[in-house]
Chains A and B, each alone.
Chain A
Amino acid sequence: MSDLISMRDLSRNDVEAYLRHAEKMEKSLRSSSPPKPRNKIVATMFFEPSTRTHMSFWAAAERLGCRAISLSGDKSSSAKGETLSDTVRIMSGYADVLVLRHPLEGAARLAADVSSVPVVNAGDGGNQHPTQTLIDLYSILRLKKKISGLSVHLVGDLRHARAMRSLLYGLSMFGAKITLCSPKALAMSDEVVREVQEKFSPSIRTTHEINLRDCDVLYVCRIQKERFEDQYEAARLQDEFRITKEQISAAPDDLAILHPLPKIDELPADYDSDPHAKYFQQASWGVPVRMAVLDRVMGV
């Protein structure tokens, strides 16, 4: 049994194995012969709102011939005060895999420690979102055929966004040239930058100004309002940090814009049909990547 909790637990070989498996899954989705049914039960346990992660895990389970059952935090016994540990122990008696999203950091690790079945971290507070990173790396590979040496700009709320924190590990592992761009108050944690530098020696540049002249992949995320104590400050930063059409026009022609979604107004309005905008395609790759994740944690 293996869990998927954090990018920090994975080697480059592990990540490559996930990505190869995802490619097979994508091919199987396009072919007329679907994968052999796995006949397992996948339980999704979401204690925070989600559209893409929740639904793509559900769709991935169904595509694999599994049955999906779902527990929503506000309708579960956690509303009556049940601990997460107890909920996980109960659910691990009902399903073969648990997919957990929770607002507190370390919730997935705790779940993995007490569960008798594999646990997949679908986001734990501001800490990690490893399956999003696998989707992001898969998307970059599908769009650009490589990751090493690409100039990837991570732009937005780098302090609170778990997708950014996880992705920094993933990109560093593969030798991308990384630019971290955020308002000063929302910079990536120094400790995280230091750790990836010590582990992978990537090229990392930090800036507070958006300049996309050398950018191959622009990865944007929204200001994570739900992680702010001061909502006025969140709204102010959201207004202050927007990417303009002029900034994008300075980028190379084959720029790919990715976003973990949901997007608010950090990208120009009416930009979704622009050829640079790849985020809906990226979201669609969530299904084959999460099929691969479920398969691998189930030992298929």
Chain B
Amino acid sequence: MPLTVQKISNGTVIDHISAGRGFLVMRILGIAESYSDRVALLTNVPSKAMGKKDIIKIEGRLIDKKTADRIALLAPQATINHISNANIVSKKLVEIPSQIDGIFKCPNPKCITNAERVTTNFAVEKNQKLRCHHCERLFAAEELVA
């Protein structure tokens, strides 16, 4: 039986998230118990292009470029649809950035960035791995989101 989730009126639908990554994308979005509007996370939804995919629907929130860049690291095929009055007003593919500044904490406890107030900087290398500008260690995107 198909699983039906109501349309949202104003907000964002993030589609084509790699199956299973929806939970991590929720973490990037910072959506916690205190979020007062409707949110739906659908996982393992059948997809012609991807086999299975995750979808997130968020009422009352638009996604900015910085957040979209972070989502791209975990879900490089994701599309971000902004919804207004129940209509799609913009549809964008996420783009993997070449670097990420000041968002993630370096997971290396011996990195200088964990000892003093420094803006972290990660270069995005192949396979969406991120290299810390300071300690030069390489991390999977999941390690930074965790």
Contact = CB atoms under 8 A, between A and B. Distances in A.
Interface of A: 6, 8, 83-85, 102-107, 109-110, 124-128, 191, 195
Contacts, number: 55
Most buried by B among A83, A85, A109, A125: A109
Contact of A8 (B117, B134, B136): B136
Secondary structure dominating the interface of A: mixed
B135 interface: yes
Nearest to A102: B112
A105 B114 CA distance: 10
A124 B135 CA distance: 9
A132 to B, nearest CB: 16
Interface of B: 106, 108, 110-113, 115-118, 132-138
A18 to B, nearest CB: 20
Contacts of B116: 83-85, 110
B125 to A, nearest CB: 9
A180 to B, nearest CB: 18
B128 to A, nearest CB: 15
A249 B106 CA distance: 46
B118 A127 contact: no
Contacts of A195: 138
Contacts of A124: 112, 135
Contact of A105 (B117, B118, B137, B138): B137
Contact of B112 (A104, A126, A128): A104
B107 to A, nearest CB: 12
Contacts of A107: 112, 134
A6 B133 CA distance: 11
